């Protein structure tokens, strides 16, 4: 059995599809399955059973002998949520229980960390373990991810293989349910369909022109390829960046979305919402040398090619991966 937590969500459901494509069908999908809008993400996929998030720890105690690998992708990911207790419960305490079970029962683990841990990038975007204690995330979500990373590194007992993946700006199919937290590409597509234009956040930093804020955008299918690589090559435990290693502007992203629809760009700017303005990352770019150094050789999809696949094969058809 392979366990995927967060299996009804964006990245988790894409991982389930990719595992199916690889011939893995004995899958345990863990999530809060009460949210009907997430159901299409896992309907039609092949798996053994659904396990409610609150029941997973008990289920694992009873079934651990049959578990081959755990992908702990589930988390509270809302960067606009400022109730720390929610993140302590779902992102820290819950993850610690998963980690301890993997240690006790000899189960390898890949879990989702985040580039939100890097804050404004004061200490760079290098995934070496020495910098983790110095990082200054900008919101409770980033704090929770960094707190768990720090906790994991301090543990005397670790799973015999583990990897924490610092996801950068992920986009791609199966994010219809995410609302405000969906990727800019998702919102751009819907704006174009509705109004024929895209509104991007204006820069409130004099070092960046409007639309030239830079992010490391990674297509979800590339991210999943790395997850599968780590499952199949369980040798080098640790924290790993997971971006493309090449920052691109939001203007590039918007233009690629228009191009995928065979339309001329029509882009304007609006103020960044006040509730996130002071917590806004103007630049992120993953140093990917560590992952490549352990043998990962696949090239990452270009922004233009990733947006084209996402728009034409999923958003235009309202289909799922």
In 206-310 the beta strands, taken as DSSP E runs, fall at 214-215, 217-219, 238-242, 248-249, 267-270
Among all residues, which ones are annotated catalytic?
141, 178
Burial of 200 (0-12, 13-18, 19+ CB in 10 A): buried
**pLDDT tens per residue across all 321 residues of the chain:** 999 999 999 999 999 999 999 999 999 999 999 989 999 999 999 999 999 999 999 999 999 999 999 999 998 766 666 777 888 788 899 999 999 999 999 999 999 999 999 999 999 999 999 999 999 998 888 999 999 999 999 999 999 999 999 999 999 999 999 988 899 999 999 999 999 999 999 999 999 999 999 999 999 999 999 999 999 999 999 999 999 999 999 999 999 999 999 999 999 999 998 888 887 889 999 999 999 999 999 999 999 999 999 999 999 999 999
Contact assessment for residue 257 and residue 208, using Cβ atoms and an 8 Å cutoff: no
| Residue 283 DSSP label | B
Q: Do the bridges between strand 169-171 and strand 27-31 make them parallel or antiparallel, or are there none, so unpaired?
A: unpaired
| Residue ranges of domains in the chain, CATH in brackets | 2-171+217-245+284-300 (3.40.50.720)
pTM of the model as a whole: 0.95
**Phi, psi (5° rounding) for residue 27?**
-110, 140
The radius of gyration computed from the CA coordinates of the chain, to the nearest angstrom, equals 19
State the Cα–Cα distance between residues 228 and 71, nearest whole angstrom: 10
Contact assessment for residue 314 and residue 320, using Cβ atoms and an 8 Å cutoff: yes
Q: Do the bridges between strand 248-249 and strand 214-215 make them parallel or antiparallel, or are there none, so unpaired?
A: antiparallel
State the Cα–Cα distance between residues 279 and 80, nearest whole angstrom: 9
Burial of 229 (0-12, 13-18, 19+ CB in 10 A): middle
State the Cα–Cα distance between residues 74 and 92, nearest whole angstrom: 11
């Amino acid at each position: 059995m392979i366990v995927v937590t967060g299996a009804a969500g964006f990245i988790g459901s894409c991982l389930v599809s990719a595992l199916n494509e690889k011939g893995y069908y004995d899958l345990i999908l863990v999530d809060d399955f009460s949210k009907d809008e997430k159901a299409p993400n896992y309907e039609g996929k092949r798996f053994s059973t659904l396990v409610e998030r609150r029941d997973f720890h008990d289920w694992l105690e009873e079934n651990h002998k049959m578990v081959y690998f755990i992908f702990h992708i589930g988390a509270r990911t809302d960067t606009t949520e400022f109730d720390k207790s929610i993140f302590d419960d779902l992102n820290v305490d819950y993850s610690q229980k998963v980690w301890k079970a993997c240690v006790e029962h000899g189960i390898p683990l890949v879990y989702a960390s985040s580039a939100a841990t890097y804050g404004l990038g004061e200490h760079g975007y290098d995934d070496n373990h020495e910098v983790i204690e110095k990082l200054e995330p900008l919101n409770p979500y980033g704090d929770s991810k960094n707190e768990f990373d720090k906790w994991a590194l301090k543990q005397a007992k670790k799973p015999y293989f583990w990897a924490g993946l610092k996801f950068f700006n992920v986009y791609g199919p199966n994010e219809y349910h995410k609302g405000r937290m969906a990727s800019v590409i998702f919102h751009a597509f819907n704006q174009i369909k509705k109004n024929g234009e895209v509104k991007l956040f204006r820069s409130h930093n004099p070092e960046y022109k409007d639309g030239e804020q830079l992010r490391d955008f990674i297509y979800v299918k590339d991210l999943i390829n790395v997850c599968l690589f780590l499952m199949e090559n369980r040798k080098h435990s640790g924290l790993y960046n997971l971006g493309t290693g090449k920052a691109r502007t939001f203007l590039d992203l918007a233009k690629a979305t228009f191009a995928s629809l065979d339309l001329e760009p029509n882009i304007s700017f609006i103020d960044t919402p006040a509730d996130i303005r002071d917590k806004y990352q103007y630049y992120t770019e993953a140093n990917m040398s560590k992952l490549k150094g352990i043998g990962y050789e696949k090239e990452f999809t270009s922004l233009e090619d990733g947006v084209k696949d996402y728009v034409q094969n999923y958003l235009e058809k309202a289909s799922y991966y």
